[in-house]
Amino acid sequence: MSEQARSEQACPVCGQHTVALDQPPEIDVMGVQPYSDMLGMGDLHQGGSVRIVCLNCDTHWRDKAAFDRNEAEPDAGSDAPNGADDGGE
């Protein structure tokens, strides 16, 4: 990995310096409408959904405070709440 891609802080899970911001893609649903865009009447842009992700171990955190506390979000495919035991009895 190049020095340019190295993050300042290490991932608390795997220890690698591969932490980055995870932004959802912007998808315009109205299509190209130059006059509406010039007047500010185009698609609404959703804000505030930027998360932190480790590119090495694919762990996600909802914000900087959760990253500092190492409170990772549960896996997207998991129905279990945070901290639930996966083993059954």
Phi, psi of 35 (to 5 degrees): -70, -40
List the chain domain ranges.
3-69
Model confidence pLDDT, tens digit, residues 24-65: 777 767 677 777 777 777 666 666 677 899 999 999 999 889
Say if CB 11 and CB 54 are below 8 A apart. Answer: yes
Assign 83 a pLDDT band (cuts: 50, 70, 90): very low
The closest alpha carbon to 1, from 55, 61, 67, 52, belongs to: 55
Say if CB 57 and CB 16 are below 8 A apart. Answer: yes
The closest alpha carbon to 64, from 74, 50, 78, belongs to: 50
> How much of the chain exceeds pLDDT 70, in percent?
69
